[in-house]
Structure 1
Amino acid sequence: MNMPDPVAVFRTEAAELFEQIESGLLDLTHRLNDKDQIDAVFRGLHTLKGSGAMFGFDALAAFTHHCETAFDRVRKGEKPATSELVAAVLAAQDHMRALVDRPTDDHGDIGEVLLARLRCAVEGDAQQPASVQPNPAVVVAEAPKSGSNTWRIRFSLPVNSMVNGTNPLGLLDELRDLGECKVLVNTSAVPSLDVLVPTDLHLSWDVTLTTDQPRSAIDDVFIFVLDDMQLDVETVTEVPVAEPVAAVSAPVPSTVAAPIPPVTMAVQAPVAAAATTERETAVSNADNRQAKAAENVRVPAERLDELMDRVGELVIAQSRLRQLASASMDIQLRSVSEEIERLSGELRDTMMVLRMVPVGSLFGRFRRLVHDLARETGKVIELVTEGETTEVDKTVIERLADPLVHLVRNSIDHGLETPEERRAAGKDEAGKVLLSARQAGGEVIITIKDDGRGINRDRVRAKAESSGLIQPGAVLSDQDLLQLIFAPGFSTAAQVTNLSGRGVGMDVVKKTVEALRGAIDVTSQTGEGSEVSLRIPLTLAIIDGLLVRVGTGRYVIPLSAVEECLELSLEEDLRSRGRSFISLRDSLVPFLRLRDLFRTGTKPDMHQKVVVISTGTERVGMVVDQIIGDHQTVIKSMSKLHHDVATFSGATILGDGSVALILDVAHLVAAGQQQEAQVRAAG
């Protein structure tokens, strides 16, 4: 069995830490005095630094150390948390990501520039004398205090610590960062060479540390290994404020047994109590982390994809078995077939759940985007998210990231006004961008809505006519006109900026959504804002379908889009020719004759069926010869030779080994609505 690559494991954990740090920083922008968030960011930076050093990412550890030190000063109340500090650490985090992804690249002077920005954010505008200008390598080092404590620290780690990735040298380096250290190593527990295991750890350490930091700083060094190790920390002496720091530079011999002054005892008791409380808290936190880790198992996405493929093949084989069993008179064979069908269905449902990811993981990425765009454009932007718990197939989540980036940027750049324009229009200075998700049948609807100026239809028409997309004066429905913004190269921006103007973003949105077998709806009210809704299938792997026959061919209609089925007699079929409408509960619904659309060359059955499908508020009927029944459909992609065939979104393998094409519901509904518009215009 292949062991996981430690560096790959670290990169995965680092990505999670980056998300936690970024989330904490963005929360701080709204609540700069939130101590819990400050502590959370500090812990994330501390963990990232320690893990980076453990796995050989020394440049990352050295750079992260300065950001950690900056937040440590904020945590201790020495410096205030400011929006400039948050922005500086966010920018520094991007450099940290680069150091994780490309540790061997030459990153130039980016690190020094970011550290200089970090120093300015921490120190404010105060000018420092030239004689004491800090070294760029230590731009956020803490100023020494007037008094120091000397601590005696004895610790030992479990025998398997190094095998599990704990580096004791890293812990000693962190102690040295706190102040002057004298380190003694105890080798009494090291066994003889004939029984020594090189990967086992048998050493313990006795450290005398003189530092101006509190006891909590020492506990922070061991916070992530505290539950497995033996640690003993005690105060050796306390230096009065009036004495120079050099007076305690030499460690106090352990053999000295001088009586402790009463004042020292009065101070030592609460320190010991506080140490006990802090240790209990750290152990409790460690237990919680272990419990959480035990509840979750990290599995590579590739393995889930492989398992999904196997489940798909199992569903196809089960369909074949069911067909054979239905044609057989063997009762036992039918019983086994039904049992396997039940088990494969449960396995399929379980596999689908494993692939589902909350859409909140996607929405969380846009907090940083909105924060950066607000600083870049000078606009006041409020991001609101709803329906974060809605679950979508992980493949859908991955492919929706770029389209949503384009839509959010477009809403901010073209939709939202500047604070001055909003005040003049009687609106709040802060523009609102809403990201929401909800499930509707077998689809998830993701909506991007803003309360800005809305889409200028006159500008859209003028741009479309000048680009040759439509003829001058062409009659278009409002939806068709708004859909022009997704045309390749289309942009109404007056000039090209960092945000827009090249006309490529919305084109990418349309192509990606169509590749996902989805659809886009656009609504806009002048002066009130715009709304773009993406209708995306919940999954791209296995769906429930309705198997139908048209002529001699068989086709699958996604069951989530089916509303109802009606019978269409031959007389009604002949009577409706020329208008292609059926009356459905006092409303006219256009329908398409798939036999004519597919040019089967066959005569219609005596009792045809109309399958009514819908996407949102639009409904269309499809005339088929026979409804065979429901079918668990394993979706197979079309070949590149058929990428321009818009009527079908994929194919599936039936139980007898033949192939059935899956109908593209969105395309057929659009075709039906277009046919309806032509009939009404002719009438």
Structure 2
Amino acid sequence: MGEEQFKGVFVEEALEHLTLLENALMELEETPDNMELVDSAFRSMHTLKGSGAMFGFDVLSHFTHDIETVYDLVRSGSMKITQELIDLTFCAKDEILCMLRNDYDTIPEVQKKKDELTKEFKDLIERYRDGGNGATAKGTLKKPDGKSIPDEIIVKDIEAPRYTYRIRYRPCTSCFLRGTNPLLNIEELAGFGRASIVAHMDDIKFLDEYDPDACYAYWDIIVTTEKEIDAIKDVFAFEDESSEVKIEVIDVSGELDGGDQYKKLGEILLEKGDLTQDDLDSVLGLHKKLGELLVEKGVVNADIIEAALAEQVHIREEKKSQQTSVEETATIRVPADRLDTLVNLVGELVTVQAHLTQMAVKRIDYELLNVAEEVERLTCELRDNTMNIRMLPIGTTFDKFKRLVRDLSKELKKEIILATEGAQTELDKTVIEKLNDPLVHIIRNSIDHGVETPEQRKKVGKPPKGTITLSAIHSGSHVLIRVKDDGKGLDVEAIKNKAIERGLISANAELSDSEIFSFIFAPGFSTAKEVTSVSGRGVGMDVVKRGIESLRGSIGIESARGVGTTITVKLPLTLAIIDGLLVRAGAGSYVLPLTSVLECIAISKDEIDQNHGRELTMVRGQIIPYISLREHFFINSTEPVNQQIIICEVNARRVGVLVDQVIGEHQTVIKNLGGIYKNVETLSGATILGDGSVALILDVNRLVNLVEGVERDAVKRLGMASEMSVCE
């Protein structure tokens, strides 16, 4: 690996540490006394400093040194977390991001900002350097003997050891009379970690000797926990002196001898004192299991054997769980371009597999068809696994917006918190990368137009702090991402009046609320009375819609006046390979994404002619408009007698697409059309069929929007022509 590759690895790790730092700072604003968060911020800075020096980022290393010193003072108790320190660290984090750029040294404004921040951190150090509690002039800690503790010892993140204890607990027989319940002690031990408990009943008396107020049972408990032995002893602090409590440490983090097999049964029994060496020797050599022999000879009872076997199983499972946790955390970094190459190769394999299946069916070769079916099964598994590799949790994107909400709400003098739900919902990495900008616009819009100021919220009986909820949830082969605010909601009348003013609708048009809300996605549309640094120019929501539609997604709005607004983005899980419906119109083949298809219905040429050019059909009492692919793509060949209408869902509406023939479902590998066709809005790509021919992939959302736009323009031109004729 060359020097540049090493630097690339450092930059990736540095970005991860900066994300951890930002998350810690966001939480520290709410809980400034949380020392775990302080330690997290300190470790991030320390790692950046050390790794930066190692990979030649000396400026970054020197810059983070002073920040690290400040957080070391906080850790030692000489300084408190303040809003000033958090704001300063946020600025430093942004500066470090700039330092990771290749052109950092050539930007004088950024260099000036770095020097100003360095001075502010040094001032903080000078102000608190003599605060005591072990802080020295350099911000390092000291031992009781006055010697400095090296940095690597301070920041070493040592995982807490896990102790496994063997406990023999025999409460005194009169414990019930003293008001003691032994089961409470056992439950407390079980709450410390993973526990194995065996109850012994061999001391219970016969009925003529049985005392109902006496406790005859005793227990063997094996518990694995991070708590030290003093915590175990504290459980039995109020036990009577006549009670037997024997505590032994039998394993520490899986490091003691024994391996997966742990100790043999005889060794455990000897250690616990339940068996003597003579008794053990008397049964060794016989051809039965040791436990069975010991019980048969009456040396120990079955409960004692059960307790020893439970200990074996407990330790074996503990070692296995520790090995599994290590294996689960093993990851490997793979460059994104290699992953994209793998997906492209899988796509080519899907195409070849379709060709093989088609050839086997044509030849009526059953042996070849069996092979083709097996190849299809393996290809599907390979495709699914490859797609899963590309899937990433959307939580990493969600976390970025916490800083956006914090900074923007401060700028607008509002109090807003960002709540997230469904952070583990997974999406294709390409979708996540392209989703960032649309979500930024939506959230900025919610902060500026949606959530009111604290004073306005108090007047209407709302809490002064507003909430924006960012959530994600799977819905079939899609993901629904919602941005919900508890603000003032959209003003239906204001939007309608603006639409009338701009000539988008007539003054007497009757529209539903959802249709009126859709106007905010029109280019240049804004109801804001003032232009702010955030919004008001009518730029943003039209960009959002174009961005979402480029991902083959859709966007919808729900709003209630005075309650809030919810914007829902519906996106496909992946952009690389989709399940489609293959259709024909004329001599051409087309693919509609199967996720948007609801049903297919047959329609005859006579029924189409009876509508006198109106592209409408009745489906179970509902009138549904449709678009003819023949008309849209100017196909002049003879129309078949019977055609098909594919009913699709577009922006929460049912719209049909008229085609000549439905071929069937088709696993579609999406290929770009190239620069020549980049302005063809109704197509999202192409795919290669099994026979080598090309099928165009339709973007149903854009197709419907384009046709509706053309019709609106035609109506507008017709209205203008009518007005001119009246004037004449």
The TM-score with structure 1 as length reference comes to 0.73
Unaligned segments of structure 1, at least 5 residues: 123-137, 150-174, 181-207, 228-279, 679-683
Q: Does 1:475 align with 2:476?
A: no
CA drift of 1:179 comes to 8.6
Q: Distance in 2 between matches of 1:29 and 1:148?
A: 24
Q: Deviations over 1:365-390 (max 9, x none)?
A: 00111111122222110211122222
Q: Does 1:332 align with 2:367?
A: yes
Q: Is the 8 A contact 1:518 1:535 kept in 2?
A: yes
CA drift of 1:567 comes to 2.8
CA drift of 1:471 comes to 6.3
Task: Provide closer, same or farther for how the CA distance between residues 119 and 474 of structure 1 changes in structure 2, counting only shifts above 3 A.
Answer: farther
Q: Which AA in structure 1 matches 2:507?
A: G
Task: Provide closer, same or farther for how the CA distance between residues 447 and 515 of structure 1 changes in structure 2, counting only shifts above 3 A.
Answer: same
Among 86, 111, 115, the alignment partner of 2:114 is: 111
CA drift of 1:89 comes to 1.0
When structure 1 is superposed on structure 2, of 634-643 and 652-661 the one drifting more is 634-643
Q: Does 1:514 align with 2:517?
A: no
Unaligned segments of structure 2, at least 5 residues: 162-251, 256-321, 714-728
Residue in 2 aligned with 1:250? none
Q: Distance in 2 between matches of 1:304 and 1:599?
A: 40
Secondary structure of the 1:219 match is: helix
Secondary structure of the 1:482 match is: helix
Q: Does 1:491 align with 2:526?
A: yes
Q: Which AA in structure 1 matches 2:537?
A: R
Q: Deviations over 1:191-246 (max 9, x none)?
A: xxxxxxxxxxxxxxxxx998465x5866226659999xxxxxxxxxxxxxxxxxxx
Residue in 1 aligned with 2:98? 98
Q: Deviations over 1:372-418 (max 9, x none)?
A: 11222221102111222221111111111111111111111111111
Residue in 2 aligned with 1:219? 153
Q: Deviations over 1:400-450 (max 9, x none)?
A: 111111111111111111100111122111111121222223322222221
Q: Is the 8 A contact 1:489 1:503 kept in 2?
A: yes
Secondary structure of the 2:80 match is: coil
Q: Distance in 1 between matches of 2:344 and 2:682?
A: 25
CA drift of 1:568 comes to 2.8
Task: Provide closer, same or farther for how the CA distance between residues 78 and 476 of structure 1 changes in structure 2, counting only shifts above 3 A.
Answer: farther
1:19-98 paired onto structure 2 within 5 Å: 19-98=19-98
CA drift of 1:328 comes to 1.2
1:274-673 paired onto structure 2 within 5 Å: 291=326, 295-464=330-499, 468=502, 470=504, 473=507, 475=509, 477=511, 478-576=513-611, 580-615=615-650, 617-670=652-705
Secondary structure of the 1:109 match is: helix
Q: Deviations over 1:440-466 (max 9, x none)?
A: 233222222212122334444555566
CA drift of 1:605 comes to 3.0
Q: Is the 8 A contact 1:66 1:139 kept in 2?
A: no
Task: Provide closer, same or farther for how the CA distance between residues 140 and 295 of structure 1 changes in structure 2, counting only shifts above 3 A.
Answer: farther
Q: Distance in 2 between matches of 1:24 and 1:552?
A: 60
Secondary structure of the 1:112 match is: helix
Q: Deviations over 1:586-645 (max 9, x none)?
A: 433333333343332334434433322113631123332222111111112233443343
Q: Is the 8 A contact 1:443 1:537 kept in 2?
A: yes
Task: Provide closer, same or farther for how the CA distance between residues 456 and 179 of structure 1 changes in structure 2, counting only shifts above 3 A.
Answer: closer
Q: Is the 8 A contact 2:555 2:651 kept in 1?
A: no
CA drift of 1:19 comes to 0.6
Task: Provide closer, same or farther for how the CA distance between residues 499 and 617 of structure 1 changes in structure 2, counting only shifts above 3 A.
Answer: closer
When structure 1 is superposed on structure 2, of 293-302 and 358-367 the one drifting more is 293-302
Secondary structure of the 1:340 match is: helix
Q: Is the 8 A contact 1:359 1:389 kept in 2?
A: yes
CA drift of 1:499 comes to 1.5
Q: Distance in 1 between matches of 2:133 and 2:532?
A: 53
Q: Is the 8 A contact 2:72 2:140 kept in 1?
A: no
Q: Deviations over 1:153-174 (max 9, x none)?
A: xxxxxxxxxxxxxxxxxxxxxx
Task: Provide closer, same or farther for how the CA distance between residues 4 and 442 of structure 1 changes in structure 2, counting only shifts above 3 A.
Answer: farther
CA drift of 1:492 comes to 3.3
Q: Distance in 2 between matches of 1:550 and 1:179?
A: 77
Residue in 2 aligned with 1:202? none
Q: Is the 8 A contact 2:549 2:702 kept in 1?
A: no
Q: Distance in 2 between matches of 1:589 and 1:318?
A: 38
Q: Deviations over 1:127-182 (max 9, x none)?
A: xxxxxxxxxxx647732859899xxxxxxxxxxxxxxxxxxxxxxxxx997499xx
When structure 1 is superposed on structure 2, of 548-557 and 435-444 the one drifting more is 435-444
Q: Which AA in structure 1 matches 2:519?
A: L
When structure 1 is superposed on structure 2, of 655-664 and 613-622 the one drifting more is 613-622
Q: Distance in 2 between matches of 1:621 and 1:490?
A: 29
Residue in 1 aligned with 2:10? 10
Task: Provide closer, same or farther for how the CA distance between residues 406 and 357 of structure 1 changes in structure 2, counting only shifts above 3 A.
Answer: same
1:671-682 paired onto structure 2 within 5 Å: none
Q: Which AA in structure 2 matches 1:382?
A: I
The TM-score with structure 2 as length reference comes to 0.69
Q: Is the 8 A contact 1:179 1:210 kept in 2?
A: no
Q: Which AA in structure 2 matches 1:507?
A: D
The alignment covers a number of residue pairs equal to 557
Q: Distance in 1 between matches of 2:159 and 2:570?
A: 47
CA RMSD in angstroms comes to 3.8
Q: Which AA in structure 2 matches 1:20?
A: L
Task: Provide closer, same or farther for how the CA distance between residues 90 and 292 of structure 1 changes in structure 2, counting only shifts above 3 A.
Answer: farther
Task: Provide closer, same or farther for how the CA distance between residues 290 and 76 of structure 1 changes in structure 2, counting only shifts above 3 A.
Answer: farther
Q: Which AA in structure 1 matches 2:538?
A: G
Q: Which AA in structure 1 matches 2:130?
A: A
Q: Is the 8 A contact 1:610 1:621 kept in 2?
A: yes
Task: Provide closer, same or farther for how the CA distance between residues 221 and 456 of structure 1 changes in structure 2, counting only shifts above 3 A.
Answer: closer
Q: Does 1:142 align with 2:176?
A: no
Q: Which AA in structure 1 matches 2:154?
A: D
Residue in 2 aligned with 1:170? none
Q: Which AA in structure 2 matches 1:52?
A: G
When structure 1 is superposed on structure 2, of 654-663 and 480-489 the one drifting more is 480-489
Q: Distance in 1 between matches of 2:76 and 2:554?
A: 52
1:200-239 paired onto structure 2 within 5 Å: 211=146, 219-220=153-154
Task: Provide closer, same or farther for how the CA distance between residues 430 and 66 of structure 1 changes in structure 2, counting only shifts above 3 A.
Answer: same
CA drift of 1:479 comes to 3.9
Q: Which AA in structure 2 matches 1:470?
A: L
CA drift of 1:670 comes to 4.7
Residue in 2 aligned with 1:269? none
Q: Is the 8 A contact 2:468 2:483 kept in 1?
A: yes
Q: Distance in 1 between matches of 2:324 and 2:380?
A: 35
